[in-house]
Amino acid sequence: MQSQQTAASLHAFIEQLPKAELHVHLEGTLEPELSFALAARNGVALGHDTPEALIAAYNFHDLPSFLTIYYKAMEVLLTEQDFFDMTWAYLSKTRSQNVLYCEMFFDPQAHTSRGVAFDTVIQGIHRAQVQAAAELGVESQLVMCFLRELPAESAMQTLLASLPYKDWIVGVGLDSDEKNNPPIKFAEVFARARAEGYRLTMHCDVNQQNTLVHIRQCLDDIVVDRIDHGVNSLEDPEICAEIARRGIGLTVCPVSNRFVVQNLTGDEIRRMLALGMKATINSDDPAYFRGYMNENLIALHEDAGFEAAEITRLVRNSFEVAWLSEARRSHYLGLLDQSLAANI
Ligand code: HPA
Ligand code: ZN
């Protein structure tokens, strides 16, 4: 493979690579067109006349301003079929970009708090996962996120509600508004989740207050398997060394970062790779940030000069830190190697 490729050939290279996504919020995949269809089906008012007008109102500049729009928009999700349709749309879209494996977050409390049953949410999502595996050839697993601004008791209730569906959920995460909601608030919930056999991850969003304290709590107190975002770990060499030594994956979301903190974080991703940290590339909330997996990788090429070797390292990292069996991991790494061999 040439070290410098034309933009067109690098796009083609990115598009055909077999890829994995590890940080995508299903509710963040709700495209405006589907929101309008669900709003009409359910008789919910969206407050905008067209999908274009809805997109024009996406003026987020930080995490809270994004979350306000994100929670409002998901009010169209009411029935099992709605959750199916949203999940099916994401899996179809991401499969069309050669993403073969995904770990997808969902936010049950954002629905149960509106009177939608946990069962409704997970049954709809799961049915789409099964159908997409059979018909589209895309494998996926679910990661249940707790909303960190809600009390730990609510997270614990949600964890208990999930237990009958333990076989459908691979891990738990922590998302939403990080300000004044540190990881340690959920220590008991995550200890119980670990005891139940769930894998553990938590958001340490970019440029949050007390970010290094939060990352330390993830490493030392919660003992996470992965960290979502985690870009600010670069501010502490000891934290970087520990993340590298423990092989903890960091699920970075460049296009999301460009929206929320006005920085694609290309330099930061390069530094992570140079330090041996397992950085991965992800879309976060692709319907809102207007970019799925390939658009994230292409943005790294176009705006930060990433070439094929670095793109390949990032894609390989995703399969390496995915919550897969060793047999499935080898299968996907084999597909990646085959595709690279065909590109020489
Ligand atoms: N950060 C925190 N919470 C979220 C995000 C995010 O990027 N997306 C959806 N919920
Ligand atoms: Zn996220």
State pLDDT tens for residues 242-294: 999 999 999 999 999 999 899 999 999 999 999 999 999 999 999 999 999 99
Nearest to 94 by CA among 139, 50, 130, 161: 139
Q: What is the pLDDT of residue 3?
A: 47
The DSSP code sequence of 297-324 is HHHHHHHH---HHHHHHHHHHHHHHSS-
Nearest CA to ligand 1 atom 2: 176
Question: Closest ligand 1 atom to the C-alpha of 229?
Answer: 7
pTM, two decimal places: 0.97
Asked whether the predicted pLDDT for residue 2 surpasses 70, the reply is: no
227, pLDDT greater than 60 = yes
Q: Each residue of 46-71: pLDDT tens digit?
A: 889 999 998 998 888 889 999 999 99
pLDDT score of 4: 56
Distances in whole angstroms, Cα of residue 44 to Cα of each of 35, 107, 108, 113: 10, 20, 20, 17
Task: Please list, in sequence order, all residues whose beta carbon lies within 8 angstroms of the beta carbon of residue 226, skipping any fewer than 6 positions away.
Answer: 22, 199, 200, 201, 248, 249, 250, 251, 321
- The best mutation among 62, 66, 228 to test binding of ligand 1, ranked by most ligand atoms within 8 Å of the C-beta, falls on 66
Mean residue pLDDT across the chain: 96
Question: Which phi and psi angles does 196 have, rounded to 5°?
Answer: -80, -5
Tens-place pLDDT, residues 303-319: 999 999 999 999 999 99
Candidate from 282, 284, 288 with most ligand 1 atoms within 8 A of CB, to mutate: 284
Mutational test site, ligand 1, from 22, 146, 175, max ligand atoms within 8 Å of CB: 175
User: Does position 325 have pLDDT exceeding 70, yes or no?
Assistant: yes
Q: Give the chain's domains with CATH numbers.
A: 2-343 (3.20.20.140)
Task: Report the atom number in ligand 1 closest to the C-alpha of 107.
Answer: 10
The pair phi, psi for residue 182, each rounded to 5°, is: -75, 160
End-to-end CA distance of the chain: 4
What integer pLDDT is reported at residue 1 of this predicted model? 43
Q: How far is the CA of 197 from the centre of ligand 1 (A)?
A: 24
What pLDDT was estimated at residue 60?
85
> Of the ligands numbered here, which is closest to the C-alpha atom of 109?
1
